[in-house]
Amino acid sequence: MTLFSSIPRALKEALESRNGGASRRDFLKTSGLIVVSFGVTASDAGSLVLATGAEGVEQQGTGPYPDPDFRQLDSWIVIHRDNTATFYVGKTDCGQGTGTAFRQMMADELDIGYDSTSVVMGSTDVTPDQGGSGGSDAIQTDGWPMRRVAAEARRILLALAADRFGVAVDLLSVNEAVVSMTSDRSRKVTYAELIGGQRFDVNLRGRTVNETMGVATVKPVDALRIVGQSPMRFDIPPKVDGSLVWAVDVTLPGMVHARNIKPPVAGAKLRTVDESSVENLPGFIQVVRKGNYLAVVCDREEQAITAARRLKTDWEKPEVAPFPTSDKLFSYMRSVAPMSKFEPEAVGDPEAALAEATTVLKADYDVPFQGHTAFGPAHALADPSNGQMTIYSNDMKAYGMRTGIAEFLEMPRDQVRVVWMEGPQAYGRTAADDAGFEAAFLAKEIGRPVRLQWMRDEETAWDTKGTAFTFSLRGGLDSQGQLVALEYNAQAADYNHVGYNEVPTVLISQLMGTRLAKPNNGRAATPSEMYVIPNRREATQVVSLPRVWETPLRTGNLRDPNGPQVTFASESFIDELAAAGNVDPVAFRLGLLTGTTEDDSGFKRARSIAVIRAAADAYGWDSRPSPKTRRTGTVVSGRGIAYAFRSQTVVAEIAEVEVNRDTGHVWVKRLVCAHDCGLVINPEGLRRTIECGMLHSLSRTLHEEVQFDTEKVTSVDWRSHPSLLHSDAPAVIDVVLVNGDPNPGRSDLPPYGAGETVCKPLIAAVANAIFDATGVRLRRIPFRKERVLAELKAAV
């Protein structure tokens, strides 16, 4: 078994270019591509990395690092002399196996065996800019140019073979990178014999990278052979045996270590720094200060940690408290005037319908700030040698970081590159952005490679946050129990939401005093489902905390931004309406969905119906209204469902819970997810993505809450900011991949973004299950046992 078939090539290239050797860029300039004939094994690659640190191998080359041209086939695909291929794509893999999926899709179009391919991702000078990761669009959007360029490479190779044999292309067959005469399979030629080690020199078309195409068209779905299979993820073996070189592992000669010193109070001004408090510490190199940004640099990592703790500083507190306490967050949010209001979406006349309704229900829901809270704190290594700047980072948007840092440091863009490497993922706009800018700034200041890492308390307190929400909903049922009106009102504490690698909003830039001319408006969001409700109004607004700059409560996109919060409110309320009408929660939802295949909305509803039914079937759903009428014993159980539609992906989730009525402890014993994202590239990979996405939302359901006093975040580690544990894991998770296409066998079924949609319904499914079990409706997460117990007692 070749455990690491795809690792060495990518790694070798990163090392070669770092060491000033022949880089991919260099070999693309030259003909021959001899340098890509790698024979490196995983262990060789590993020792190379160690050697760079230990033996003082040279640093990066002299640059520059221009963008690979996405209109050149050679920027995407290289055929090697050993009849293997490497694909270069501008995406990153947050751990869902998208790299494996890219190989599957491109290998299928190129007609080469999966095992004969490798993929290089997300390094700005060697892969075309596809933006990195985000929005679950890797397959849905970025997979298309990948497939088209691979199909184009196949077309070129067939044309070369036709020339060689002196026949028409349609007399040829191709299988596993070998072209043969269909009539005489002994006449054959390999891709390597046709072009191995040489450039294609083929221009592609397209105004943007997403439009990139050649002449060839992609295969119909029924001709795909590798797509739909589940090859094991190539990145897993080196993650399991310790051989993978992560972004935290890169070492460079002369590299030093830095740690930040954050303001003790949000918005505090740094008055003085007493360098004498640390200058005699072993390994001390320098204190770097600009505005309120402060860091200390030392020879060794533990020395930098000690120096950062011992550095004496004097800060001036801001005059106005930066925020209310977390206990008072929701009353604060409900009492202040909004900063941004968005035009409500409305159909029918909800006011009139509510006035005429037989039953009117009203409920408020609250969601606190929740962090990304990466398992490994934010980090980056920046190398300023030779007048260039290379940043080694796990940031999922390497390209944006490169552009942002060039602007921040006022360096030409082609003198900056970001090498994406694996790292702890936290799904969205994380502090990895901030750490990249900080490392680059420090490296430029002191003229040496700087490795910066945040500490645990820094990460948990200062990482960007998922938005806090308050919701108010009203709904009306007619005398038949039909939902005739729904009013949704959301307030998001999202003012001055930070962008990805946006220079004026990265933390170091804010601490140095840079400000956007006008803070970002932020946004709230509306429910994401396909229900037909005749009278409906959805209003959203954004409120601000007193402090919007230099604050640890800055909000940034967190996995399926706003989806889990909004769906918690909307799908809990649907459940409340079903219970008020004494209708089974599945039946109630199906009653709001009437599907057709004739128009887009009807088609979406038809797929929604199929997915909700699939979840109910897989669970063995017994049709009855919630809550259960008989409850005995200390531990009571119940089930709840919730559903969501995002982009073109449909998800229905069912949670079965056990609630301990003496302690308030909730265990989600079983989860069922029915999922339709269209064409599935790697079913086993998708199953795990779904499982883990649901459990991420389960962590937000049960545990996660950012807590703060009026000056600072007080939840700063895994005790004060708990996260899901092994003991919380469900005993059973069933995933049903539906592909609920009402036109089965369609050969053009596209793939849709699969991952983030699963984060939406989980919180509501659990809340609905707790209601089913206990008869008590929980409207504020997280459902920590103290809160659950208090609600159970209050309801008695």
- Write out the residues near other proteins by the rule CB under 8 A: 46, 49-50, 53-54, 94-96, 232-233, 235-237, 239-246, 248-249, 251, 282, 300-302, 305, 373-377, 422-426, 453, 455-456, 684-685, 688-689, 691-692, 695-696, 698-699, 717-719, 723-731, 733
Task: Provide, rounded to whole angstroms, the least separation between the CB of residue 456 and other proteins.
Answer: 4
Q: Which of 12, 38, 8 is nearest to 23 (CA)?
A: 12
Task: Provide, rounded to whole angstroms, the least separation between the CB of residue 241 and other proteins.
Answer: 6
User: Cα angle at 127 between 125 and 131, to 5 degrees?
Assistant: 100
**Whose Cβ is closer to other proteins: residue 728's or residue 791's?**
728
Q: In the block, which residue shows the tokens 């036109």?
A: 743
**Whose Cβ is closer to other proteins: residue 1's or residue 517's?**
1
**In the beta sheet, which residues pair with residue 641?**
654
**In the beta sheet, which residues pair with residue 472?**
364, 489
How far are the Cα atoms of 259, 288, 765 from residue 458, in angstroms, in the given order? 10, 18, 33
User: Cα angle at 465 between 459 and 466, to 5 degrees?
Assistant: 140
Q: Which of 352, 350, 558 is nearest to 474 (CA)?
A: 350
Give the span between the Cα atoms of 370 and 703, in whole angstroms.
Answer: 10
Alpha helices in 19-170 (DSSP H): 24-29, 42-55, 98-110, 143-165
How far are the Cα atoms of 128, 194, 430, 517 from residue 76, in angstroms, in the given order? 7, 18, 28, 39
Give the strand order in the sheet containing 535-542: 340-347, 535-542, 483-493, 468-477, 359-367
**Whose Cβ is closer to other proteins: residue 96's or residue 510's?**
96
Task: Provide, rounded to whole angstroms, the least separation between the CB of residue 706 and other proteins.
Answer: 15
The crossing angle, in degrees rounded to 10, of helices 683-702 and 762-774 is 60
Task: Provide, rounded to whole angstroms, the least separation between the CB of residue 682 and other proteins.
Answer: 10
Q: Say if residue 495 is exposed, middle or buried (CB neighbours under 10 Å; 0-12, 13-18, 19+).
A: buried
**736: region left, alpha or beta (phi > 0 left; psi from -120 to 50 alpha):** beta
**Whose Cβ is closer to other proteins: residue 10's or residue 174's?**
10
**Whose Cβ is closer to other proteins: residue 54's or residue 171's?**
54
Task: Provide, rounded to whole angstroms, the least separation between the CB of residue 252 and other proteins.
Answer: 13
CB 629 within 8 A of CB 639: no
Question: Hey, what amino acid is at 722?
Answer: P
Task: Provide, rounded to whole angstroms, the least separation between the CB of residue 501 and other proteins.
Answer: 20
**Whose Cβ is closer to other proteins: residue 470's or residue 699's?**
699
**Whose Cβ is closer to other proteins: residue 251's or residue 663's?**
251
Task: Provide, rounded to whole angstroms, the least separation between the CB of residue 240 and other proteins.
Answer: 5
**Whose Cβ is closer to other proteins: residue 144's or residue 284's?**
284
**Whose Cβ is closer to other proteins: residue 50's or residue 355's?**
50
**Whose Cβ is closer to other proteins: residue 154's or residue 721's?**
721
Task: Provide, rounded to whole angstroms, the least separation between the CB of residue 279 and other proteins.
Answer: 17
Task: Provide, rounded to whole angstroms, the least separation between the CB of residue 34 and other proteins.
Answer: 30
First to last CA, the chain: 62
Task: Provide, rounded to whole angstroms, the least separation between the CB of residue 312 and other proteins.
Answer: 21
